[in-house]
Amino acid sequence: MDKKKTILIIDDDVHIRRILEIKIKHNGYDTLTAKNGKQGLEIIQNQKPDAVISDLNMPRLDGKELCLLTNPIKKDRPFLTIIITARINPFEQKWIDEMQDTMFMEKPFSPSKIIDSLAKYFENVTP
Amino acid sequence: MKSTGFEEILSGFSKISPLKFEIWNEKGVVGSCDLEDPYKVRQFLPGMAARVYAIEDFLHEKNPKASELFGLPLFNEDSVAGVLLAYFDSSHSTAGKDFPDTKDVKVLLTKIAGLIEERWEMQNESDTLITELDKSYESLHLYSNVATQIKTLNFSSQMILHLLNEIKDNIRMDMVFSIMPDRPDYSEIVCGEEINIKDESGFVASLIKSVENSNKELDEGYFIVNNSADSKLFSKLHKDPFRFLAVKIVHNENFFGWLGIFSLNMDDIIKRSELRLLVSIAEQIGVVIANTDLYHNLEDFGINIVKSLIVTIEAKDVYTGGHSERVHHITMLLAKELGINEKDTKILNWSALLHDVGKIGIPESILNKPSRLDDKEYKAIKKHPLKGAEIISPLEYLSESIPGVLHHHEAYDGTGYPSRIKGEQIPLFARIISVADTFDAITSDRAYRKGASFEKGYAIINEVAGTQLDPDLVQIFNGIYKKSKIWQIQRQII
């Protein structure tokens, strides 16, 4: 049987962390949480989650900086990053397109769409 | 059964007291404390658990081995979700230690059970809250999507389709539809995979017809059927029972149609929150459609103004009367020959009609000057493509027609105006208009000269192919000139 996939949730808002955590657990994944990008980066490096869901605007290392720092890791160990942000502008879209396995969701996000995206991603990467 | 979160605490109790605690559900032990069982007392626990389940009350038993067994049911939402068991192995007792008093054990067990039940209750509450929160997030997401679309002035069938899909996924319906009798563009149906209806639009039409025939007052603007089996009218529409909701799409007393959701899942009913969501989405759709209508009216108004501008410019320039229409006519012949699609032909149509609209800003004294123009006057004339583009730029509907207007005086070799671009850099539509414009300019009368014959015009066009005009387009023009009788048609227009 497949090992449960682990999803890291990074958001400075405790309620958003909680709702995502519960929703994602309900759908059969394990979760890890971090309050800011810095904490998130450490978890990505040490605990190797299978996907990361992160807010864009955060204290101490925002979502974009986090992507820039983790993108090189993805070459050897690909994982999905979902950036949650307010309205996306073309400038924002550009850097997201340049990242590997990275997508964005607009706020207010739909929890079920996040689940769909995770499922789709894992379906495609599992041989 | 839910986890109690008390397993560790009970295990700790077991270690320091003569009583051992366990939590069971129907299937067996879930919260075990001490599976070491030297005196074989645990074999009595399954029966004990079953009996507590059955009587739903405190139970105290002595078993043949003289062990004391206690059991208390654990309630979760008014039904027994597990039992708390405690046992005391009498053979284990050492001298001086008496059996605990039954009453004391009961009090202790009741307290522990109370804590476990309280914890479950909180978990239930928190689960409910989170489910609600999750739903609100979905609704908020859907609603913000709708709100974004409302800002647009050009509502399209694609947007309706997108919206219906969002609703379908959001509130997990088997079918979502919008039906607007007078607006087939906005009438769409989206279905989930489970649904198996061959003629979807026929089915939706019959649903709506039944709503309208149901004789119910629809003051509220919606109609709910929570179980079609309960209704003679609706049960015959589909072999399986279904539930559905239809909400009127109205704006300022104008009825546009219906927005509806349909589901074959009878385990649920149409919720108040879903009704509210659908009602507000329908309201917004009403606003968007009304806005789109107003916008189109405004566009039509704008286009009519532009048309009257053409008439004005024709009137201003007495010698070129009918020029815009003749250029338009030849352009359309070229477009047909080139196999340009319908949408692009429409764009080209407006470019051709409006190519000289910028002349409105040029003094009549220059336009109608009976002698050659001096440099200053020629400079003024050369501004008309840019002025034309400026005039039509506020009209979004005509935005794609601007390049044709702006560049119709560019030359193929790059010596034209205003941008001095050459060859393929010149938009195709501008190159097409240029051919038509040149031919008509040569063959029609001007302020300072009489128009040349069509034969002469044809010859000159071919002379400037490659320098002023796109040679390929001139070839196409030649084909038309030879087979159709442009000059005859031209004469009719004149």
Q: Which domains does chain A have, with CATH numbers?
A: 6-125 (3.40.50.2300)
Three-class DSSP category at B104: helix
Question: Which residues of A fall within a CB distance of 8 Å from B134?
Answer: 19, 22-23, 111
CB B6 within 8 A of CB B117: no
Which chain A residues contact residue B138 at CB under 8 A?
110-112
Q: Tell me, yes or no, whether B412 and B471 share the same domain.
A: yes
Chain A residue numbers touching B124 (CB-CB < 8 A):
none
Best-predicted range by mean pLDDT (A48-52, A82-86, B270-274): A48-52
In a domain, B264, yes or no: yes
Rg of chain B over Cα atoms, rounded to whole angstroms, equals: 42
The domain that contains B393 carries what CATH number?
A: 1.10.3210.10
The alpha carbon of residue A76 is apart from the nearest alpha carbon of chain B, in Å, by: 35
Kindly state whether residues B280 and B338 are assigned to the same domain.
no
What string of pLDDT tens digits covers the 494 residues of chain B?
Answer: 455 567 777 777 777 777 888 888 888 777 656 666 666 778 888 888 899 989 999 998 887 766 788 999 998 888 888 899 888 766 555 444 556 688 888 898 899 889 888 888 888 888 888 878 888 888 888 877 777 766 666 678 888 888 898 888 777 889 999 999 888 888 999 998 878 888 888 999 988 888 887 766 667 788 888 888 888 888 888 888 999 999 999 998 889 999 999 999 888 888 887 888 899 889 888 988 888 888 888 778 877 887 787 787 777 766 667 888 889 889 999 999 999 998 899 899 899 988 988 888 888 888 777 777 888 888 888 999 999 999 888 877 788 999 999 999 999 999 999 999 989 999 999 999 999 999 998 888 776 677 888 888 889 999 999 999 999 999 999 988 887 665 555 555 54
pLDDT at position B163 is 87
Contact at CB, B170 and A112, closer than 8 angstroms: yes
Specify if B244 maps to a domain: yes
Structural domain includes residue B65 = yes
Q: Kindly state whether residue B240 falls inside one of the protein's structural domains.
A: yes
- Residue A22, chain B, CB below 8 Å: the answer is yes
Cβ contact, residue pair B134, A19, below 8 Å: yes
B290 and B322 fall within a common domain? no
Same domain, B265 and B324: no
Full domain range(s) for residue B231: 152-294
Kindly provide the ipTM of the predicted complex, given to two decimals: 0.75
- B-chain residues near A106 (CB < 8 A): 144
Strands (E) located in A11-125: 30-34, 51-55, 80-85, 102-106
Q: From B350, B353, B356, B357, select the one nearest B396 (Cα to Cα).
A: B350
| Residue B133 forms part of a structural domain | no
pLDDT at B96: 45
- Looking at the structure, do residues B284 and B341 belong to the same domain, yes or no? no
Give domain status of residue B108, yes or no: yes
Please tell me which residue, B153 or A101, carries the higher pLDDT value: A101
Do B160 and B279 share a structural domain?
yes
* pLDDT for B261: 93
Q: What angle do CA B101, B102, B103 make, to 5 degrees?
A: 90
Could you tell me the end-to-end alpha-carbon distance of chain B, in angstroms, rounded to an integer? 92
The domain total for chain B is: 3
- Evaluate whether residue B300 is within a structural domain: no
For residue B286, the tally of other CB atoms under 10 A from its CB is 20
Q: Examine residue B146 and state whether it is found in any structural domain, yes or no.
A: no
